[in-house]
Amino acid sequence: MKTVKFGGTSLASAEMMKHCADILKSDDARRYVIVSAPGKRFDGDIKVTDLLYRIYSEVLNDYDPEPTLMVIYQRFSEIIEGLGIEFDLDKEFDEIRSKLSPDLNPNWLASRGEYLNAKIFAAYLGWPFIDAKDLIIFKENHILSHHLTYKVAGEVLSDFSHAVIPGFYGADTHGEITTFTRGGSDVTGAVIARSVKASLYENWTDVSGVMTADPRIIDNPKQVKWISYRELRELSYMGASVLHEDAILPIRSSGIPIQIRNTMDPDAEGTMIVSRYPFDMNKHPVTGIAGKKGFSNLQIEMALMNTQVGFGARVLEIIAENGISYEHTPTSIDIISVIAETRYFEKCRSKIIMEIDREFHPDKLFIEDGMALVTVVGEGISTNVGVAAKVLQIISNAGINVRMIDAGCSELNIIIGINETDYEKTIKALYDGLHEYF
């Protein structure tokens, strides 16, 4: 049995919805479907969720929200008309209107895109609509109550052979609507897949899967056919986004694979995301390349640093006290570097320098911006000789200066720090040079 999630572009119009219904009905195993709010139909179009957030800010700032509300009404009424179904949209909008006040729970308002789209899609399919507020349970601060949710959702859904469920939200233990962060319908899909013990979670979106490199830099990059959860996490952390990062946790331990599929190309096999590769699979050493700009290097140099027990710990304490989440701490005998996103240093740059200077009187101390990190990811890196050498050779042949190398013990990836100005050039050189490893 499969749990299926359709993203906002997949359900942006009546025509798209009909197409998704055909996809659903072409496989009897597709029984629980998670629905996003209508997304963009064309460049420049506005997602319904964005319009709902706009209404909330209009209400707060004492602007008339009615014109924006009518844009949403119009979108849904076009969908209803295009599907040729009976649906009392006026009643739904009267309810929304009656609740518009500055004390309104913004999550409730933001969730109405998913709520209405799921109700409409359920009416079209003739499947039961099950409200996510009765399935997905949050603790405080938008934190999902995992085990309670799996239990409750599993029990409720066991009474239904098929169901349409709105994505993106649930309710806290007082029944107040709470949402995941943006793009959170992916998480709903994973949570439902786990709750109903699905054998596969199909995530239908507007791309054919995970790419081996960023298509904004590499023309038509190769697609990844299989990827492990760990590899995906490394690639998405560095900017390759096809799936909400919280979507992996609910199903990781239960081993349910996620398949990314393209709604506009349903015959394409997409990308299969798995906890472990099939044992007989001939896995290529490298799965993908990703990267991000905007890093800084805080560097401390001090003679005999290596003899001072607790030096590094104290530096990291200062980093933590200043609210900085760091990425890497490469060290040599008398030098320690802390690599973190530049945005973290924006407010505390001089404060940190002062604190470290006061405490250690180092020989040299500076924060240097303008670093980009590029990561080459692959479970196969650890078992194939020469991948790291090849990566460095490619970079040096391209005349790019390496500012940092971090390969960690897991050998799941090799991370290279370079100047931001070399970022695109590095990705291109690696993509071309590593082609035999993909």
- Binding interface with ligand ASP (CB under 6 A): 8, 36-37, 47, 49, 113, 167-168, 182-186
Task: State the nearest-atom distance from the C-beta of 230 to ligand ASP, in Å.
Answer: 23
Task: State the nearest-atom distance from the C-beta of 50 to ligand ASP, in Å.
Answer: 7
Task: State the nearest-atom distance from the C-beta of 379 to ligand ASP, in Å.
Answer: 28
Judged by CB, which is closer to ligand ASP: 243, or 387? 243
Judged by CB, which is closer to ligand ASP: 8, or 257? 8
Judged by CB, which is closer to ligand ASP: 167, or 362? 167
Q: What is the dihedral sign for C-alpha 391, 415, 351, 301?
A: negative
Q: Which two tokens stand for residue 170?
A: 């649930």
Task: State the nearest-atom distance from the C-beta of 81 to ligand ASP, in Å.
Answer: 22
Judged by CB, which is closer to ligand ASP: 247, or 381? 247
Task: State the nearest-atom distance from the C-beta of 182 to ligand ASP, in Å.
Answer: 4
Judged by CB, which is closer to ligand ASP: 203, or 342? 203
Enclosing H/E stretch for 313: helix 311-321
Q: Tell me phi and psi for residue 120, to 5 degrees.
A: -70, -45
- What DSSP line would sit under 223-258, residue for residue? BPSEEEHHHHHHHHHTT--SS-GGGSHHHHTTT--E
Task: State the nearest-atom distance from the C-beta of 77 to ligand ASP, in Å.
Answer: 19
Burial 45-61 (b: 16+ CB within 10 A, else e): ebbbbbbbbbbbebbee
**Straight-line distance from the first to the last Cα atom of the chain, in angstroms, rounded to the nearest whole number:** 32
Judged by CB, which is closer to ligand ASP: 187, or 302? 187
Task: State the nearest-atom distance from the C-beta of 238 to ligand ASP, in Å.
Answer: 21
Task: For residue 335, list its beta bridge partners.
Answer: 301, 332
Q: What is the dihedral sign for C-alpha 37, 167, 243, 371?
A: positive
Task: For residue 328, list its beta bridge partners.
Answer: 339
Nearest residue relative to ligand ASP (C-beta): 185
Beta-carbon count within 10 A of 236 CB? 18
Judged by CB, which is closer to ligand ASP: 2, or 47? 47
Contact of 257 with 346, CB cutoff 8 Å: no
